[in-house]
């Protein structure tokens, strides 16, 4: 009998592997009904999670903000990495893009009956894509808004759906979001940074941007190299005066070549090259 070389389609639900094609969630489901939870996007590479410490910090912060009680599998040292290793090994994925979805258990209306959680992890093959972004523009339709949960991924996800629709409609490669006061906040699915006069700038979390794990790592790395780092409230015209602009998330650092009608030589900027080199020495 011939044995298939194709790995089975699997997911991880509350720490147990299940076939994807026969898996179903039961109702009531507060994640579906109220978006009562959060998610993390993670990269598996070199037999481990990139930015593990930063992910765990944001997971714990999200749980605290939402008043969720996390299981040991999500908070104990090394437990999440161990569980996700089982998934990527079963799928035979040496490099993987993982999504961990966490939501409050039980039913109820807006007032929940429980603070316990359920969680689900899925994985897809990951390929590094760090090519420059050719054309970017500032969002016209959507604005970010600071809230107690704006730092984590999930509670305000529809905002980024609308931003992605606008980006596609305007035939742009990237969209830069502003907050309600007109300050630069973030890209559609990444933090935004810019460089000017040897200094590194990124929007403050009070703009309502996501507290990205790559953002946190780059800020820590830059400060360890004694760079001047500024988390700022900046209008678009300030960003357009930069020497280089780039986006950063767990998947990639991508230089921006053009924003509206302003051109940048971001990819060749020495400080961006230094940041990439310093990161490569860590990961």
Q: What is the average per-residue pLDDT within 134-151?
A: 98
> What pLDDT, in 10s, does the model give residues 30-42?
999 999 999 999 9
Half-sphere exposure of residue 160, counting CA atoms within 13 Å on the CB side? 18
Query: By the 8 A CB rule, do 194 and 245 touch?
Result: yes
Identify the pLDDT of residue 218: 98
Identify the pLDDT of residue 283: 73
Tokens matching residue 175: 């969209």
Percent of the chain with pLDDT over 90: 94
Q: What is the pTM of this model?
A: 0.94
**Domain 10-125's class?**
alpha beta
Q: Tell me the sheet residues that pair with 108.
A: 112
> What pLDDT, in 10s, does the model give residues 7-35?
779 999 999 999 999 999 999 999 999 99
Q: What is the average per-residue pLDDT within 82-89?
A: 97
CATH code, 136-282: 3.20.10.10
Residue extent(s) of CATH 3.20.10.10 domains in the chain: 136-282
Residue 220 CB coordination number (10 Å):
12
Residue extent(s) of CATH 3.30.470.10 domains in the chain: 10-125
> What pLDDT, in 10s, does the model give residues 237-260?
999 999 999 999 999 999 999 999
Tokens matching residue 81: 């990495």
> What pLDDT, in 10s, does the model give residues 153-200?
999 999 999 999 999 999 999 999 999 999 999 999 999 999 999 999
Q: Say how far apart CA 184 and CA 139 lie, in whole Å.
A: 10
């Amino acid at each position: 009998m011939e044995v298939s070389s194709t790995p089975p389609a699997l997911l991880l639900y509350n720490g147990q592997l299940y076939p994807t094609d026969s898996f179903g969630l039961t109702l009531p489901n507060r994640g579906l009904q109220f978006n009562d939870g959060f998610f993390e996007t993670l990269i598996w590479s070199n037999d481990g999670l990139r930015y593990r410490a930063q992910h765990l910090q944001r997971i714990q912060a999200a749980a605290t903000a939402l008043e969720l009680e996390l299981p040991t599998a999500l908070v104990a040292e090394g437990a999440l990495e161990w569980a996700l290793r089982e998934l990527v090994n079963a799928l035979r994925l040496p490099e993987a893009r993982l999504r961990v979805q966490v939501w409050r258990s039980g039913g109820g209306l807006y007032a929940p009956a429980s603070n316990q959680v359920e969680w689900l992890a899925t994985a897809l093959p990951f390929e590094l894509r760090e090519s420059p972004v050719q054309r970017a523009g500032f969002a016209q339709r959507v604005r970010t808004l600071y809230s107690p949960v704006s730092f984590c991924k999930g509670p305000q996800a529809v905002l980024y759906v609308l931003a992605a629709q606008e980006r596609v409609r305007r035939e742009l490669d990237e969209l830069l979001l502003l907050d309600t006061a007109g300050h630069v906040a973030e890209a559609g699915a990444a933090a935004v940074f810019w460089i000017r006069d040897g200094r590194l700038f990124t929007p403050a979390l009070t703009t309502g941007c996501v507290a990205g794990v790559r953002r946190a790592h780059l800020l820590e790395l830059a400060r360890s190299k004694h760079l001047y780092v500024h988390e700022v409230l900046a209008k678009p015209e300030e960003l357009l005066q930069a020497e280089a602009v780039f986006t950063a998330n767990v998947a990639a650092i991508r230089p921006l070549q053009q924003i509206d009608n302003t051109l940048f030589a971001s990819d060749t900027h020495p400080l961006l090259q230094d940041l990439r080199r310093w990161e490569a020495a860590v990961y």
